[in-house]
Amino acid sequence: MNRWVVLPVLLPVLLGIASLPLVPRVRACGRVISVGLVANLGLCLWLLNAVASAPDAVSAVLSSQMGGWAAPLGISLVADATSSMLLASTALVAFCGHLYAVAALPETLQRRYFHPLFAFLVAGVNLSFLTGDLFNLFVAFEVMLMASYGLVVLGGGRVQLAQAYKYVLLNLLASTLFVTGAGLVYGMFGTLNVADLCRTFLEPGFEPPAGFAAVSVTLLIVFALKAGAFPLWFWLPDVYPSLPTPTLAVFGGVLTKVGVYALARLFPAVFGANHAADAIGPLLGLTAGATMLVPALMAVAYPRMRMVLCMMILTGVGFALAGIAVGSADALAGTVFYCVQSMLVVSVAFLLCGRLEAAAGTDRFRGGRVPGGLHRGHPWLAVGLLAILLALVGLPPLSGFYGKLLIVQEALGTGHPVLGVVALLTGAVTLLAVLRAWAGVFWVFPEAEEPAEAAAGPVPPAPARCGWHRAVAVALLLVAAGWMSLAPEPALALAKRAGAGLAEPTAYVRAVLPADPAVIDVAPVPPPKIGKPTAEAYGKHGSSPDPAASAHAGEHADATHAAAAPPPRSHHTGEGTTPRSSAGGTK
């Protein structure tokens, strides 16, 4: 079963390659990608079910080592409760966003390699959630970003190109910092494998080397920029509103969650642990509080629905970071649950905003640009968008409430009262912002008209037929968000398992790394010698989980074989760590 973990990465890559010759044939290309995304959705749901139905914590972590190289030296792909939940929601958002795009985007845009770029974007996101080491997390980010660069400039308009320069430059800066930070981590610990790093920090009495806090801050800046955290979020309100509606729905729902996931995976157990917690904890808490409150205040002043929704994305990132800053298992569970439902809710909010723009010709609701009273001609659009906006705020019993409740409870109960109060204040401000925006579009009539004249005035013309593609895309996301609102227990139970795994990654480590953590031998396995038992010939290669048996077999191994095995791992004590080489020895 573990070998299937690679398929959520491999399938979108193959889809992107297969769709390249079909780019001139827009409809055929769109169908190929849509069918492939359905298969990707089914595969991600299957992985989610496999993780959720596992009998214990270790078997709930599906780990696959690429090329037969044992962790931590090989490429590890790992699906646990956190990554499988995010994979499933990403797959649904990607399918619905692409289905909407097939009907909404002009064929001229689709011919500009929209479909292959979309497939490669999904591949990069999936790899980000599945990879088990920092180097391949960097690779995943670059695959995702290269595809997103193409999608950002797809329209070729002046506004899009101007914002694309900012987007590309900032992400290039983040990539440079990421490579620098990863190199420093390898120099300190001799590994980039996440499970190996977690194992190091789980050992009693471990002291990180000097300068580790600076490396942690560097990686915090990288992932905060990817997530859109304060004060590094300034690019998002400029770039996202210039995108076509389906692209914006996928970007807004998914891309910021990749940065949040990296922070949740790495910081509670590794980069925010030990002495680094003194530097990272207050900084992460301050970042979370500012990311919650500042965009909420800005949303009150914005006159466009797209801008208000972009501010809601940033506010949601702040709530997710608050759970990471608190760091307890339940707070991290709240972060996971909130991110999953936010993917669905934000994406469908932008799709409904696209329907609003089709109905009114604009999303601006000040100065009479949007005819108030759209609820008369579009009642279902009004009700649907109101419900989604309230879910973004976190009003009970909608889906946004449960994750925020866990985060606020843990913040108030574990010594972070200021963060809890800021979260409650942010909820009140966001409620004001979204109600003002919704009322300005659907309820309030233009100031130039008298109420009686407005009531007797013509109903705004109905938009062109929605088409089954758009209707199905919106309906699927609404159903998923509604299920998480009305029946949240299964998702909450799995999110609590995910939070426990992030706070205490022992099961993750056991599932990924070999049974004998002291000896990791990647030298070629020699054939068994005649007259010697197989266990004796292979004992040094970890086939026996019993360290005593391995040691006994090692006493009888030949000198060449014994020389190939590396010494037990030495931990950095501030001087002279020798990283392990890919050949299994030391440098």
pLDDT of 536 strictly over 50: no
Q: Report phi then psi at 166, rounded to 5.
A: -60, -45
Q: Among residues of the chain, what percentage have pLDDT more than 90?
A: 55
Average pLDDT in the 514-537 region? Answer: 42
Query: pLDDT at position 567, please?
Result: 39
pLDDT per residue as tens digits for the range 43-82: 999 999 999 999 888 889 999 888 777 778 788 999 999 9
- Check if the beta carbon of residue 314 is closer than 8 Å to that of residue 233: yes
pLDDT category of residue 156 using cuts at 50, 70 and 90 = low
pLDDT per residue as tens digits for the range 325-350: 998 999 999 999 999 999 999 999 99
Residue with tokens 């600076």: 214
- Mean per-residue pLDDT of the chain: 82
pLDDT of 385 strictly over 80: yes
pLDDT category of residue 374 using cuts at 50, 70 and 90 = low
Residues sharing a CB contact under 8 Å with residue 142, sequence separation 6 or more, in sequence order = 124, 175
pLDDT per residue as tens digits for the range 110-121: 888 999 999 999
H-state helical runs in 70-133: 81-104, 107-110, 114-130
Average pLDDT in the 560-580 region? Answer: 40
pLDDT per residue as tens digits for the range 3-19: 789 999 999 999 999 99
Residue with tokens 């190929």: 32
Average pLDDT in the 248-264 region? Answer: 94
pLDDT of 552 strictly over 60: no
Give whichever of 368-372, 488-492, 512-516, 546-550 has the largest mean pLDDT: 488-492
Query: pLDDT at position 184, please?
Result: 94
Which position has the higher pLDDT, 537 or 155? Answer: 155
| Helix, strand, or coil (residue 528) | coil
pLDDT of 535 strictly over 60: no
The span from the CA of 213 to the CA of 166, in Å, is 29
pLDDT of 287 strictly over 60: yes
Query: pLDDT at position 380, please?
Result: 86
Give whichever of 23-27, 161-165, 448-452 has the largest mean pLDDT: 23-27
pLDDT per residue as tens digits for the range 73-110: 788 999 999 999 999 999 999 999 999 999 888 888 88
DSSP, residue by residue, 179-230: HHHHHHHHHHHS--BHHHHHHHHHSTT--PPTTHHHHHHHHHHHHHHHHT-T
29-38, 160-169, 459-468: least confident range: 459-468
| Helix, strand, or coil (residue 435) | helix
pLDDT of 281 strictly over 90: no
Average pLDDT in the 143-150 region? Answer: 93
pLDDT of 224 strictly over 50: yes
Helical packing angle, 305-326 and 329-360, nearest 10°: 180
Average pLDDT in the 238-243 region? Answer: 87
The span from the CA of 464 to the CA of 457, in Å, is 21
CA distances from 528 to 288, 386, 539, 558 (A): 58, 70, 11, 11
pLDDT of 557 strictly over 80: no
DSSP state of 64: E
Average pLDDT in the 190-216 region? Answer: 88
Helical packing angle, 467-486 and 399-413, nearest 10°: 40
CA distances from 366 to 370, 448, 475 (A): 7, 12, 29
pLDDT category of residue 586 using cuts at 50, 70 and 90 = very low
The span from the CA of 571 to the CA of 587, in Å, is 15
pLDDT of 240 strictly over 60: yes
Query: pLDDT at position 250, please?
Result: 95
| Helix, strand, or coil (residue 416) | coil
1-15, 143-157, 163-177, 571-585: least confident range: 571-585
Average pLDDT in the 131-152 region? Answer: 93
| Helix, strand, or coil (residue 300) | helix
Residues sharing a CB contact under 8 Å with residue 306, sequence separation 6 or more, in sequence order = 240, 241, 248, 350, 353, 363
Surface-to-core class of residue 390, CB atoms within 10 Å of its CB (0-12 exposed, 13-18 middle, 19+ buried): buried
337: tokens are 């649950």
pLDDT per residue as tens digits for the range 442-459: 776 544 444 433 333 333
pLDDT category of residue 414 using cuts at 50, 70 and 90 = confident
